[in-house]
Amino acid sequence: MTYKVGILGATGAVGQEIIHLLHERAFPFSELRLLASARSAGKVQSYKEHSWTIEETTEESFQDLDICIFSAGGSQSKHFAPIAKQAGCLVIDNSSAFRMDDSVPLVVPEINPESALNHEGVIANPNCSTAISLMGLYPFHKAFGLKSVIACTYQAVSGSGAEALKELDDQLMAWSKGETFAPEVYPHPIAFNVIPHVDSFNEDGFTREEMKLLNESKKIMGLDSLQVNCTCVRVPVRRAHSIAITASFEKPIDLEVAKQAIHDFPNVELVDNPEQSEYPMPINYSEVVPCAVGRMRKTDIVPNGLSFWVTGDQLWKGAALNAIQIAELLVKENKVR
């Protein structure tokens, strides 16, 4: 059986990755409809030997589609998702629009696939940092019972889109020529700098990005009592996020059990040989399916504490790949409609 698939936001960074992954993973589509804004309509998008003409997104765009992956931002999702759903098209949404909606499953297929099977026409993808963090945390939760998390993210500029990538490149080029440069995408220069500011600040001093790790982790893992303290930081890395995590568990930590938990969990690799300078790094986990865990060590700073480092491609596992994995799951279980 084949499916008619749409991509809303097809010209964006995540949309481009979705096109790539649909082909490389041989997703069973008979038609691919690329949707974007009016200014992109009529342009031709190509991948290998395939070409498509980009269409302006309208209320009629979802007729006859089986699945549409949304990657155009929250306002577009809120407007078009109900319309797509009414047309009988399943929406897999990459924005934050529906993540905390009780009627919408928030899914990482390796963790809570059963939630996706109970959809009512819309399924939400988690925030990129949440997805990558949980790929490291959930195997340990299964082994020891997760209670609390202290996390610091190291987020690549591609998480802010193509303009942020260009800003980093332009600043590096300006520096190499001895020229000055002014930031536009970020409030400060990102080249040779780290910025402890991702998303907007709330009144309590945390950012919206930091609160996503708390709220989304609770929903995905079904842990209402989970405590999370997160600091999100933008770093001058092109692609792939990393997160330093210290977690507290119900049971004492056995490092051999912890290592086995990673080995047994799908789409996570253990890279933990610091004596040989082997640990997960963004340069090795860009455009790679699995996430990676390393720098594992017990700590007494919290009860039954375990500290570790996790790295993953935020454009893939944090967005495009996770969405396609959801679609693959629903196709396998015949739950698209």
Any idea which residues carry the catalytic annotation? 128, 241
No. of helices (H) and no. of strands (E), the chain? 8, 14
Q: In sequence order, what are the residues at sequence separation of 6 or more whose Cβ sits closer than 8 angstroms to the Cβ of residue 289?
A: 267, 316, 317, 321
User: What are the percentages of helix, strand and coil residues in the chain, rounded to 5?
Assistant: 35, 25, 40
Provide the phi-psi class of 240: left if phi over 0, else alpha when psi is between -120 and 50, else beta. Answer: left
Give the sign of the dihedral formed by CA 68, CA 315, CA 12, CA 32: negative
Residue with tokens 């082994």: 143
Q: 229 by DSSP, 3-state: which?
A: strand
From residue 116, alpha-carbon distances to 42, 93, 300 in Å are 34, 12, 37
By DSSP bridging, strand 44-47 and strand 50-53 are: antiparallel
Q: How far apart are CA 197 and CA 189, in angstroms?
A: 12
Go through 223-258 and write b for each residue having 16 or more CB atoms within 10 A of its CB, e for each that does not.
eeebebebebbbbbbebbbbbbbbbbbeeebeeeeb
Angle between helices 128-144 and 208-221 (to 10 degrees): 40
Q: How far apart are CA 103 and CA 328, in angstroms?
A: 21
By DSSP bridging, strand 291-299 and strand 305-312 are: antiparallel
Q: In sequence order, what are the residues at sequence separation of 6 or more whose Cβ sits closer than 8 angstroms to the Cβ of residue 300?
A: none
Half-sphere exposure of 40 (CA within 13 A, CB side): 18
